[in-house]
Amino acid sequence: IIRDYSAHNRSLPFIPKEIHDYLTAYFDDDTMVRLLEGQHLESILSKGTSVISASVGFVIHTLEWFLAFIYVIFILLDYQHIMRGFGLLVPPKYRPIASRIGNDIKNSMNRYFRGQALLALCAAVFYCVGFSIVGIPMAIVLGLLVGVLYMIPYFQYITIIPVAFVCMIVSMNGEAGFWTEFGKCLLVYAISQCSCDYILTPKIMGKAMGLNPAIILLSLSVWGTLLGLIGMIIALPLTTLLLAYYEEYVIRPGCTDRERTTDENVRNRTPMK
């Protein structure tokens, strides 16, 4: 069919002229014979197999994420029942302290994710406004993407890649240069991150977790080095628990339960220095 198309010099209305010229110039009998030789055919089949395997892998990974999301929904629906079941697995002698540690972890994680969600919402607003001001396409979508990735510390910088791609597409029309558009977007990143890191994070996360901003940055670095992505997610709750238990059992091990409760309430209201 391709040979007949190129031999008779016919054109179809929905095929661009560039493709028509390419077909008429290169797809003759000799070219088709060379393409169907052994080595060329093996190369074509190998590339086609690679594309198919990569596509199947992408579909399988997408299905795995979807199934994980379904599992999380079902776990959340029966969360109280599941936690009571885990409590029964602990020997009766150790159930009070295990229950206390579990409640501390739950409360600390709740405070962290609520504070981080509030930060992510503020970051999404900042980036949506900033990208809209500089005038790049898909400003709201990119701003929301930054807000979603802000839930994981430092992961918002991954969005520089799609932002650079959008700036490259914008620069193709010749109205503005790539570095001009990309520089404006980097300025949005700088202003938004400075506002979030130096103004909002100490106020929101410091109040929620009771930690000094320097301790927050240090804990993210240490736990991220030890446990990678999971460590960065659980860094602040674990640091809060370790500091609280260190103060309770090492610094002041002889305090009564009433004094410990009073100190805990004070810590929840005042950031730890």
In a domain, residue 1? The reply is: no
Alpha-carbon gap, residue 138 to 132, rounded angstroms = 9
In a domain, residue 60? The reply is: no
With cut-offs at 50, 70 and 90, classify the pLDDT of residue 206.
Answer: confident
In a domain, residue 23? The reply is: no
In the structure encoding, which two tokens stand for residue 29, read together? 């009998």
Output the CA torsion 139→144→149→154 (10° steps).
50
Query: Hey, is 165 helix, strand or coil?
Result: helix
Q: Cα(first)–Cα(last) distance of the chain, in Å?
A: 78
Alpha-carbon gap, residue 146 to 166, rounded angstroms = 15
Q: Are 223 and 238 in contact (CB under 8 A)?
A: yes
Query: If 0-12 CB within 10 Å is exposed, 13-18 middle and 19+ buried, where does residue 138 land?
Result: middle
With cut-offs at 50, 70 and 90, classify the pLDDT of residue 272.
Answer: very low
In the 8-state DSSP scheme, what is residue 271? -
Question: 176-193, pLDDT tens digit by residue?
Answer: 788 888 899 999 999 998
In a domain, residue 73? The reply is: no
In the structure encoding, which two tokens stand for residue 129, read together? 């406004």
What percent of the chain has pLDDT above 90? 11
Please give the residue range of the domain that contains residue 205: 110-269
Q: What is the tally of structural domains in the chain? A: 1
Average pLDDT over the chain reads 78
In a domain, residue 45? The reply is: no
Q: Note the pTM of the prediction, 2 decimals.
A: 0.59
Residue 248: CA count within 13 A, CB half-sphere: 17
Question: 111-131, pLDDT tens digit by residue?
Answer: 888 888 898 999 999 999 999
With cut-offs at 50, 70 and 90, classify the pLDDT of residue 15.
Answer: low
In a domain, residue 125? The reply is: yes
In a domain, residue 154? The reply is: yes
In a domain, residue 230? The reply is: yes
Higher-scoring residue by pLDDT: 163, 235: 163
Question: 215-263, pLDDT tens digit by residue?
Answer: 777 887 888 888 887 787 778 788 888 887 777 777 766 555 555 555 5
What percent of the chain has pLDDT above 70? 77
Output the CA torsion 85→90→96→98 (10° steps).
-90
